[in-house]
Structure 1
Amino acid sequence: MSPRLRRALGGALAVAVLATGCDVPTLTDVPLPGGAPSGPGYRVTIEFADVLDLVPQAAVKVDDVTVGSVEEISLSGWTARARVRIDRAVRLPANATAAVRQSSLLGEKYVAVAAPVTEDAHGGLGDGAVIPLSRTRRSAEVEEVLAALGLLLNGGGLAQLKTINEELVAALDGREAAARDALRQLDAFIGGLERQKADLVRAVEALDRLSGRLARQQQVIGDAVDALAPGVTVLAEQRAQLTGALTALGELGRVGTRVVTETRKDTVASVRALQPILEQLVRAGDDLPKSMDFMLSYPFPPNVTGAIVGDFMNLSVTADLDAASILANLVAAAPAPARSAAARPAAPTRPPGPALPHPGGLVPGLPELLPPKCLPKPDAFPPTFTPPKDCLLPPGCVLLRPGSPVPPGGLLPPKGVVPPGTFLPPDTELPPGTVLSPECLPAPPTGAVTGQIGTLPDVLRGGLRP
């Protein structure tokens, strides 16, 4: 068209517009192809990996029926987000899918929304809902179809596929059973990996944590490896000696084997000769250990060791002196006939005296371990702790708080453990530093006679008892 003709047509169009007296329509007043019906609706955001050449105002269709339009297309990272407006009367499930399609070969692009095919529909799609990238797709472009067709028609690797197919047939010819078995084993292997996927993931994560820790301790590991260098150097220098030692050890093993083999008969004979001795030891039973125990304390019995305190021994003796027997022994005469217990007068009762320590260091009747009430509490130790009367300790026996001065005749147990020879049970644990008063220890023996019961007539009647 020539420039003159274009100017003429433009002038005619302007005159026609002015003659009609109407305004020139704007772009927004002209309905676009695929426009959505007017009326209330709700907005939904759809995510696409590729929207192709989809433009705003494109149609939104459900079952090829236009129900809305595209309002805005934006980019979020590598994902395209299309905000569409759908007629309120259209109800779609919450797990609906969306796709970018083309109305014809060269037609416009539009968004097709539909219910899911691979799962049941549930819920409802409302205002502000989002259809994620996992439930969207796009159709193939004409250019992509033509490119694929051109690749196919121009050879496109078909010759290579033929070669691969022929080689595969030649490789599997006669080995079908082995190939099927390999596939079954591969399937079992893949299945096992699938079942252990969680364990494999945890192992990889643990390996990642280990690698991170090793990376953070790279300097420490390097120093440790450097510190091993002198030791490795010494081992290298002593390699000949270590080899000789191992060789000598092997020779020692051979010599030991030869000695054991040659002395086998003698060893068996010696063991058989020991059999009678062992039988006699079995028959001796507990007598041998008891005799060994007595030999260690000869000439005193084993239970007397607890009565020995330092350089003296606690001893309680009851003597029953019969005058007739004593006189008969002195004159070598026959002893007088023993009188019955009924004819003998009763001996006077001995007044009670202070309790003497038990041979083991205990008071008679005192248990092996004192009750907790008889011992002070370490966290509430008074200056002077007096045990209760039912603890069977002598009057005046008190415990002084750790750090107190030791009174004359008192005792400071080493490390808070009571030794034998006191009125407290041996090995009783006290707070370290506790002091025992002198009344907690027995008086040292003097050898003097502390009392006498009876008179001379009692001696002549055989009733003297010290």
Structure 2
Amino acid sequence: MNRSRRTRRLLGAVTVGVVVLTVPACSLGPDDLPSVRAGVGETYDLSLEFTSVMNLPAGADVMMDGLRVGEVRSLQVSGPIVTVSAGIGSGTRIPADARAFVRQDTLLGDTYIAVTDEGGGAAGEYLPAGGTIPVSRTISPPQLEDTIAVLANFVNGGSIQRIEDVMARVNSVVPPLPAVRDLASVAALDMRDLAGRTEEIDRTLSGLNETALSFDDRTGALSAMFDSSSVHYWRRLAISVVAHIGQILPSVGSVYEGGLWMVPMLNSLADTGDVARGAWDEAPDTTVVLSRFLRSRIVPFAQKPSVDIEGIESAGGDQIVADAENLLRMLGAVK
């Protein structure tokens, strides 16, 4: 009897404990779990309006200048606007012209809000507690579907292949490495030469400056050349020149009509010019041959005249070089 009553009491106590633990657990969500990161201390409220926040969770970071300055408290949808309520550390002041972005550093990284200072507002103005960054100064992240569509279009649209083709064409046009090195060495030599002649450049610039100053000092005289009276003079001069040209043109026409006899002569002059041009083009080679002939033939003979007798034939066709040589040696003409 006592054992049965004690068992019933024990079962009742267990049931009451389970009910007490189960009822509060029904309202427990992921956002109610404590964060493993440290908080931001005392905070003040700040509202940020976005058109879309993708999958921004409550408790997400609010970053500014690479530092965590707050955290997202709640999100509220009001028509096309999503109002994000954030708690900002009391020691952090947000500029009045700040802009906000929803970012995700990596594909699987955490989503957070980045606040940046555009620097376009008045210095020393900051958002008060309870202030709002309107939707005009916030940028929402692109939809994941749009990002995937852009990537698919980039990969499947032939962009990578076109880039490879462009690189191949660039490689085919670019000269080989030795030529590039030669070009770089020449350019370096020119730059060094230019650097060593800065005095000449300064002198040229000084001359241009003095010329400009001279023009500036004579602006009165230059302006006088283009005043009303000068313009009238230039106009009359132009009319006179045109009138004289008009008188000359008929004479030119008569010379042209009566000068048909000059056509054969001009054709002969053209042929002579062609021949002269050919001779002019061949002049370097001819000059080289003539110079070689003078150096190898005329100059040595003029310095030491001599005759090289290769053979002497008699009336019968016999070679008598030995007899002639003995005769000349007896005469003392040769040694």
Shorter-chain TM-score category? 0.3 to 0.5
Q: TM-score, normalization: structure 1? A: 0.26
Question: 1 or 2 for the larger relative contact order (CA 8 Å, sep ≥6)?
Answer: 2
Larger of the two Rg values belongs to structure:
1
Q: TM-score, normalization: structure 2? A: 0.35
Q: By percentage of residues, which structure has more helix?
A: 2
